[in-house]
């Protein structure tokens, strides 16, 4: 079962623009995490936001969480070509993380 | 890739053969996980282990088996019973199961398995 659903599935922007990805989920969560995956590689943890937090920043990343709407967003500001990757949200379901289908971001130089 | 190694990077197997994927971590993590990723898709959990000599089925365990004889190692065997084994396999570890406060997972580089 897929707890998180990312939107859009694919996003193409120019370098310097901001990129926003959204994640919706179905059940109550303890926390929500965002991961990045470069093509053919493993995932890298970006940021974790707890259910009692509404916003969190890390460098050019900004994550928001709205538990009433069961949704989260990841904003990448001033994007770079090196940000090209797939981005996944993950939520706790029981004792495990459950990953969404991902947003494939392409940043054109 | 965060102290987790997977081998081999690419693996080819004939139909009907069992094959074992290696996963080793030197992060002193208690929990380890195996995921399957199909092209353009998210990750699906195959098996996870919280502690040595203990493991639990994930969402798609059929046709797979694991062992956890050492804290550092969590090998995955893809058996001939797995109907569609061609996929990208990712191993991960964390300090504790996902329910604990600090539960980000660290991933290996993955093994791409192709059945010929």
Res. B102 pLDDT band, cuts 50 70 90: low
- In the structure, what pLDDT confidence band is assigned to residue B1 with cuts at 50, 70 and 90? very low
Query: Which of B58, B103, B107 lies nearest to residue A43, judging by beta carbons?
Result: B107
CA distance B70 to A63: 37
Q: Spell out which residues of chain B touch residue A104, defining contact as CB-CB under 8 Å.
A: 40
In three-state secondary structure terms, A83 is helix
Taking CA atoms, what residue in B is nearest to A46? B104
Structure tokens at A57: 């920043």
What's the whole-number average pLDDT of chain A?
A: 92
Q: Any idea which of A37-41, A93-97, B56-60 has the lowest mean pLDDT? A: A93-97
pLDDT in tens, A25-74: 998 888 899 999 999 999 999 999 999 999 999 999 999 999 999 999 99
pLDDT at residue A83 greater than cutoff 70 = yes
Please report, for chain B, how many H helices and E strands are present, in that order.
Answer: 0, 11
Measured in residues, chain A has a length of: 109
pLDDT of residue B109: 96
Write down the pLDDT at residue A79.
Answer: 97
In whole numbers, what is the pLDDT of chain B averaged over residues?
A: 91
Q: What whole-number distance in Å separates Cα of residue A74 and Cα of residue A70?
A: 14
Q: Please determine, for residue B62, whether its predicted confidence score (pLDDT) is greater than 50.
A: yes
Residue numbers of B between 23 and 82 with CB closer than 8 Å to A: 33, 35, 40-45, 48, 58-59
């Amino acid at each position: 079962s897929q707890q998180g659903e990312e939107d859009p599935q694919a996003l193409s922007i120019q370098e310097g623009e901001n990129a926003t990805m959204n994640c919706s989920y179905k059940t109550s969560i303890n926390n929500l995490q965002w991961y990045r995956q470069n093509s053919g590689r493993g995932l890298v943890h970006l940021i974790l936001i707890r259910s009692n937090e509404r916003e969190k920043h890390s460098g050019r990343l900004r994550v928001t969480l709205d538990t009433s709407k069961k949704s989260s967003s990841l904003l990448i500001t001033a994007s770079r070509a090196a940000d090209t990757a797939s981005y996944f949200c993950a939520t706790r379901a029981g004792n495990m993380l459950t990953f969404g289908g991902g947003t494939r971001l392409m940043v054109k130089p | 890739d965060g102290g987790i190694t997977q081998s081999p990077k690419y693996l080819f197997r004939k139909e009907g053969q069992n094959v074992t994927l290696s996963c080793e971590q030197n992060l002193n993590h208690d929990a380890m996980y195996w995921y399957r990723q199909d092209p353009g898709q998210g990750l699906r959990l195959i098996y996870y282990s919280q502690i040595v000599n203990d493991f639990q089925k994930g969402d798609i365990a059929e046709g797979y088996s694991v062992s956890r004889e050492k804290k550092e190692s969590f090998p995955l065997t893809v058996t001939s019973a797995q109907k569609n084994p061609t996929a990208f396999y990712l191993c991960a570890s964390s300090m504790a199961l996902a329910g604990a406060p600090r539960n980000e997972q660290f991933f290996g580089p993955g093994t791409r398995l192709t059945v010929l």
